[in-house]
Structures are given as structure tokens and as C-alpha cells.
Amino acid sequence: MNRSSIEAVCPHCSAVNRIPAERPAKEAKCGRCHRPLFEGKPVPATAETFERHRTRNDIPVVVDFWAPWCAPCRAMAPAYERAAAELEPDYRLLKVNTEEEPALAERYQIRSIPTMMLFARGNPVAQTAGAMNASGIVKWVRAHGPEQAQPRTASASG
């Protein structure tokens, strides 16, 4: 695989941006809306933007399926936010409100919330239910993430 650049979807306008490998992704700005591509925060996703992030990001995508009435979901929200600050720009963290996007929850057969799913190149690779603290989230994501999830440490061979 050519690692000279990665593609990342803008959290603000959903434009697909190409980030050269030699430039720090954390400082990259969107070519369309000029806002930062990574702000260390989970991105609320609709069915439409979810699809875009799932299919167009070179980096793995983590999704938190939650609902406003779910107390454990609300309790986990700050931990998920801290995890986003730690995992970006190696991962993109999304939040899907299952009240507003029931079709997405149904499609991925979300039976209990909070449920986290990890997608790599569009495919679901891991899923877990139940609230976690920030370090638990980071550990779970890194344990299931593909190796190409760490472009900063990837060797230049090949």
C-alpha cells in the first residue's frame, strides 16, 4: 500500500481530504471549509455522514451508538471524548444517536447501548457493548485496530 498520503473525511463538511504523510495530520485543515480535520472530539454522525466516514476514511472509524435516555451512555460520553483526544488522528471517532438514526442501529443490529463498533476500510472488525472509561476505550480500540491504524509508527519499507 502506498503510504505517501492518507484520505480523511472532514468532520464539518464531509469533504474527503488527502493528507500527505510527511505532514502532521493533527494540524491538517480541510481544503473545502478550512476548519481543522482533527479537533480531538467525537463527531456526531447522521446516516449520511456516517456512510461517508465509514467508506472514505483511510483511518479506522470508531462509532459509539448511544441515546439521550440511556444513563450509562451519558455517563460514558466524557470518557469517549477523552478517548477521541487520545486516538485522533490515528482513528476517527463518531457518535450515532440511535433515537435519531434508528435505521443505522437496526442495520448493525445494535441490541443494547452503549455499543461501540470499529470499522476498518468500511468493514466492521470489532464490537462491544457496555460503558467503559477512557483508558478502557483506548485500550479496546487499539487492541482491535489494524496495524495500518498507526501511520506515525509505520515503517517506510515496501
**Which residues lie near Zn ion (CB under 5 A)?**
10, 12-13, 15, 30, 32-33
Asked, as a colleague might, if the bond just before 114 is cis with ω within 30 of 0, I would say yes
CB of 56 to Zn ion, least distance (A): 13
The count of C-alpha atoms lying within 13 angstroms of the C-alpha of 83, restricted to the half-sphere facing its C-beta, is 29
Of 33 and 67, nearer to Zn ion (C-beta) is 33
DSSP E strand stretches across the chain:
5-9, 16-20, 43-44, 61-66, 92-97, 115-120, 123-129
Nearest approach in angstroms of CB 79 to Zn ion is 27
User: For Zn ion, which is the closer residue by CB, 57 or 115?
Assistant: 57
Give, rounded to a whole angstrom, the gap between the first and last alpha carbons of the chain: 8
* Closer Cβ to Zn ion, 52 or 121, answer by number: 52
Does 70 participate in catalysis according to the annotation?
yes
Residue 3: CB minimum distance to Zn ion, A:
23
- By annotation, the residues acting in catalysis are 70, 73
